[in-house]
Structure 1
Amino acid sequence: MVPGESERSRGGDLLRVAIDAGPLFDPPTGIGRYATELIRELPAAGVEVQPYAVTLRGSAPELEVARWRVPARAMQFAWRRLDRPSINRLVPGAEIVHGTNFVLPALGGLAGVVTVHDLSFFRDDTFPGGDRLRELVPWSIGRAGAVVVPTQAIKDEVADRYALAEDRIHVTHEGVSLEFFGAAPLSALALGRMGIPGPFILAVGTIEPRKNLRRLLNAWDKIRSELDGWRLVIAGPRGWGEDLPETDAVMLLGWVGDETLPGLLAAADVFCYPSLYEGFGLPPLEAMATGTAAVVGRYGAAPEVLGDAAHLVDPLEVDDLAEGLLRLATDGSGRRDLELKGRAQAARYTWTATARATVEAYKAAIA
């Protein structure tokens, strides 16, 4: 379906939204998945989607995108300092602009909605360049008719940090893509070709300090002698910070594509997500959707999103993390209980619901 097409498109009552598709041009991330799924689901919710991107590099071959081929940072500097060029020159006819990745462009009089996924850019363990977002996010929020966040936990943070009225902030939980539900586990042959010969604990995430993978390695060191034949497998692209040290019975797979990830999650015996901070935390839900029990760091949004369907641990305590992993690896009954709870919890989150909640934010922005 071409973005913007729907059964209602002939009725003239669609909301015309220019939506930032820039995250689709970057290496795959959770924000990229968010933007992709919104663009896919919004037409059925009564939105004429007009994707745009301001980026010099990359491509999104499956999507027709209005694009300015300039460095995003240079354009953001011009928007911030000069409030131009306005985005309606790139996407004429839109009535709302949705910045899906923290930043609104120069609006040229259009209504604006901005998604603030988290406030990680205030943390010391986040990506370099966070100071740029410390300027751009409040500037974007100040011009937005509505602010979208993924959880109540982040709504509370944003309201407190920016002294923002709560009725301007809209919680739109993220969703779990259908391909994770009922995914067939990768075969023993496929796992063997990846170098995974037996039972394994799987962690998924960019290799950077906030993902807390060094403590995971320390926890693994404490328990691996009790898990004969097991491996710890870490799947994720190189981010920033120091490289992870070589550790016995640990495999670094690097980035795993969407065509392989559901089967890998389904094949894992235990999933681990020891992150220190997340705005939502999609990987645990994706693992739970495939039927794999999860050990997850108790970051602020985790209880809200996961409930009692995952084993939550203190991500700062290596012993707590090690105990949680060992418990799920060795307690088949407890693991099966979480597998059942996990599938049910993951099923509560759909991108269709995300799109519908986002439309309510659009309506508030133009009210």
Structure 2
Amino acid sequence: MVHSKLRSSTSFNGQVGKGVVDLPLETISDILTRLPIESILICRVVCKSWYDLTRDPDFVRLQLSRSNYQRTRFIIQPTIQGFANDFRLLLLDAEEHNIKQIPIEREVLKGAEIMCSCNGLLFIIPYFKLNPMVIYNPMTRQRLILPSLDCEVNVRPGEVRPTGFGFDLSTGRYKVVREYLKGGIGSNRFWILSVGESSWRKLSPPPLCLIHWTWYGSESVFWKGVLYWKMVKLNFQGYDEVGILAFDLSEEKFQIISFPQSYTNETSLDLLDLDGRLTLVAHEPDAIMKLWRLAGKKIGDFSFCLEQTYDTYVRWNKNLFCQVISRVNHNGYLLFVVLKKDGSIMTHVTKFFPQMAQYMHLDLPLIADCFGIHGFRPSLECPVSASHLS
């Protein structure tokens, strides 16, 4: 429902011109929220009433609720050997094969990377420091710098670990989880911040664990009020147990979900929200790709069930591996492919259609040989407004 102060008809200069249909703002709101974000931003310059309408919090929430029905877009960040080498962000529409540059302030990306996203907002952190941390909407170019995490000790570069960013459904607040390693393996420290508050709170850590952090980062996955990471559970028998680390943003508690079968370090694992379901993808060295779906209604009851097995016809290894980043046309997958050769790293994006045993390379102009990629669904969410919620 549109805010009461905007509940009226719309016209230009107070009158309805020839050929112009005078519609209630509720009807216009229903129409506009179904459009791509770029079209909504263009509509803002049509007239003042549409400008006010599209900035109204109720309109923003309605558009966000419908964003899941729009196709996934991708943010691309050029890199050198896994680290950002310039200050550009590119927006990719893989289905339309369209790519364009997103204007962004230089200081936002200086020495930093996109770690994860939630509701169209990107979470950007430095490579080797805890601060500064930025929430950024690449479509509206609005940003919020979070309060610094001031620890009781100095943190060295190798001790900074991945992060998580999600939305607490019970409070309507965004929350950030940070981890750093202090004192060796098993000495993980966890902190949490509710966006809008001025200070961080220390969390009770999960059982001995170390979040798996590959060269392209260990993105958290936000799904239905819970953050998930791939992780390695350390024990005292001399071997590691692979699993999922889950953090309920409402209860602020950790849980470890074990994988349904053991995997060696020769198997590459992806964790992502695929078609609205949390999915684990295992790329096995014998060219087999398995999709495991998370079953269960709440944290504590979750388990993984095998859903699909495909022959990829490629023997993936440590020097040639891929990551599933999205579904394509209901019968294919979008892959982020990484090739390591002679000390250099090259990346590209390709479509894989299992039933046809076909790969289709995406030619991406404006992009160097190496880049990072992050899937997200654009929204009008304002980071600053999120910090002012009561």
Greater helix percent: which structure? 1
Does the TM-score normalized on the shorter chain lie above 0.5?
no
* Structure-2-length-normalised TM-score: 0.25
Greater strand percent: which structure? 2
The structure number with the bigger radius of gyration is 2
* Structure-1-length-normalised TM-score: 0.26
